[in-house]
Structure 1
Amino acid sequence: MSEKERAVIARTHEAFGTCLTAEKLKEDFNKLGILPGMNLLVHCSLSKIGWICGGSVTLIQVLLDLLGPEGTLIMPSHTSDNSNPKYWQNPPVPSEWFDTIRQSMPMYQSDRTPTLYMGKLAETFRKWPGVLRSEHPQHSMIAFGKNAKLIIDKHIDSCSEQSPLARLYDLNDNGYVLLLGVEYENNTSLHLSEYRFQTNNNIEKTFISGASIENPETKKRQWIEWNDYDYDSNDFNDIGRAFDYIEGNTTIGSVGLAKARLMKQYLLIDFATDWMNKNRMKKNTS
């Protein structure tokens, strides 16, 4: 048992006197406002919730039970290691490795490629029976439920108009984001706002991205490159604080030990795009 897990057990015992169960999680999610039929994009730090009996499997099953057959559960399943090594920073690799990595990186396969830095919950959900995964080699998303195919289908752009983020936005009042033990800097939906801000203001902050994919004709791996938008999450927490400040935007509560935020995604996207128009433009013109 790791020291991190020991600490999680100690915090959970101190707060509740026992471990967290499915019944306790359901009670907390009900108070927060998770309802049947929601299309729910979840970003989660599992350890922040506390020690759950059954861990990630229990949490996923609870969410699916609450959303019901008319709902859809969605998570990011990004694979940032399948990218141009020139831009790697955490950690960087020697430049002499770049060509070898581009020539050798295994191709993205939606049914095999593991997530990276997405957390245990997303990796467990990726392997859940019936889950669908989009085909973007870096910014894929996974979904289960009524609108799963609608949301992940034809994922051409990383985080812009041909992405699951935009399809969730199209669902308007029935598209939600749940931040569970994480802050707005982890809120992927804000990248859609960035894209709209940049295109609306003719800002061309792009870079050459790359990934290893399966050639649709030969079925063999190939390295492809494309111009992608240069996303920047440095002000996402500022945006989130401003969004939370407006009454009715965010429902804030607790799930286990974790702070939880539930919001309608389209309201967040519209607010953030407007915020960037006002605040990022000041930086660009100063």
Structure 2
Amino acid sequence: MSEHDAVAAVDDPVTVDRIAAGLRGLGVEPGDTLLVHSALSELGWVAGGPQAVVDALQRVVTESGTVVMPTHSTQYSDPTVWSDPAVPDDWVSQIRESIPPFRPDVTPTRSMGAVPECFRNYPGTVRSEHPLYSFAAWGADAEAVVEDQSFQNGMGEGSPLAAVYDRDSSVLMLGTGHDANTSLHLAEYRGAFDAGETTEGAPVLHNGERTWVEWTDIDLDNGDFAELGAAFDAAHPEAVVTGAVGAATAKLVEQPALVDFGAEWLAEHR
């Protein structure tokens, strides 16, 4: 949606107050733990842009709750596996030798949207140290959610996704769909099927020195997440609240129920 389209999509500016009211209408309350996925452009014209969204989330959840967002940086992955776009073969060694190391405080997100990119810089927000699949969090349990994320099983057991699951949390989707729902990656780890294995790599800081590290992980694939999510929504309407936030269709989904269903669905359909 262009900025012209965003203006045309709403009768009045989408403000912090209006976003907060929409969140409360979905059932978001103080003390909640929310894993947030967002598409800013879907909300219509937002006064203050991504900052207004973050301010509204913090206002509604309050410091007694926790806001979590994916802040992935896949531009730091091994260039041999890049496809969108691929790079010439003779670039690979140059990229691997020269790309700066991942640093949680400064490394930008990639393809996460404007809201997570803004959120990761907010005072009090902390970010995990996974060079590809980091998460940022703010609030009461922020440190506990993002600490000790291992490179292997980056979105599996011991990851921020699992920490969110253990807190009986909700996934908030602001103008996004299940195809971008990272919680379904946790279901991939827990599903009884052969997910395959892949080798990942990235530059990190180790004892103050730039180091290229490699590890193995399951082969993550979100190609069927939209279908999976639609099946969950149909099977468990009690676990999904749909409403409007600005011009966007928003959903509040019970994350543990979604992950449990997803693990069973993937075992049957993959």
Q: Give the corresponding residue for 1:5.
A: 3
Correspondence for 1:184 among 178, 182, 206: 178
Q: Structure 1 residue 110 and structure 2 residue 92: aligned?
A: no
Q: Give the corresponding residue for 1:284.
A: none
Q: Give the corresponding residue for 2:237.
A: 247
Q: Give the corresponding residue for 1:283.
A: none
Correspondence for 2:63 among 54, 63, 69: 69
Correspondence for 2:159 among 149, 158, 163: 163
1:167 offset after TM fit, Å? 0.7
1:204 offset after TM fit, Å? 5.4
- Separation of aligned partners in 2, 1:38 and 1:130: 17
State the AA in 2 paired with 1:181: G
- Measured against aligned partners, the alpha-carbon deviations of 1:102-136 in whole angstroms (never above 9, x if no partner) come to 11111000111111111110110011011000000
Task: Verify the 8 A CA contact 2:146 2:159 in the aligned structure 1.
Answer: yes
Task: Verify the 8 A CA contact 2:188 2:195 in the aligned structure 1.
Answer: no
Q: Structure 1 residue 24 and structure 2 residue 18: aligned?
A: yes
Closer, same or farther in 2 for the Cα pair 1:204/1:73, shift >3 Å? closer
Structure 1: tracts of 5 or more residues without a match: 281-286
Q: Structure 1 residue 257 and structure 2 residue 247: aligned?
A: yes
State the AA in 2 paired with 1:126: R
Q: Kindly report structure 1 stretches of 4+ aligned residues shifted beyond 6 Å.
A: none
- Measured against aligned partners, the alpha-carbon deviations of 1:16-35 in whole angstroms (never above 9, x if no partner) come to 2x211222212211111111
State the AA in 2 paired with 1:10: A
- Separation of aligned partners in 2, 1:137 and 1:83: 8
> Aligned residues, how many?
267
Q: Give the corresponding residue for 1:119.
A: 113
Greater radius of gyration (CA): 1
What is the RMSD computed on CA atoms of the aligned residues?
1.2
Secondary structure of the structure 1 residue equivalent to 2:237: coil
Closer, same or farther in 2 for the Cα pair 1:59/1:194, shift >3 Å? same
- Separation of aligned partners in 2, 1:162 and 1:211: 20
- Separation of aligned partners in 2, 1:94 and 1:77: 27
What is the 5 A alignment of 1:268-283?
268-280=258-270
Q: Give the corresponding residue for 2:202.
A: 211
1:247 offset after TM fit, Å? 2.4
Secondary structure of the structure 1 residue equivalent to 2:75: coil
- Measured against aligned partners, the alpha-carbon deviations of 1:139-196 in whole angstroms (never above 9, x if no partner) come to 0000000000110000103111021001111112xx1100110110100010010011
- Separation of aligned partners in 2, 1:135 and 1:89: 25
1:232 offset after TM fit, Å? 0.7
The normalised TM-score by structure 1 is 0.91
Secondary structure of the structure 2 residue equivalent to 1:92: coil
State the AA in 2 paired with 1:264: E
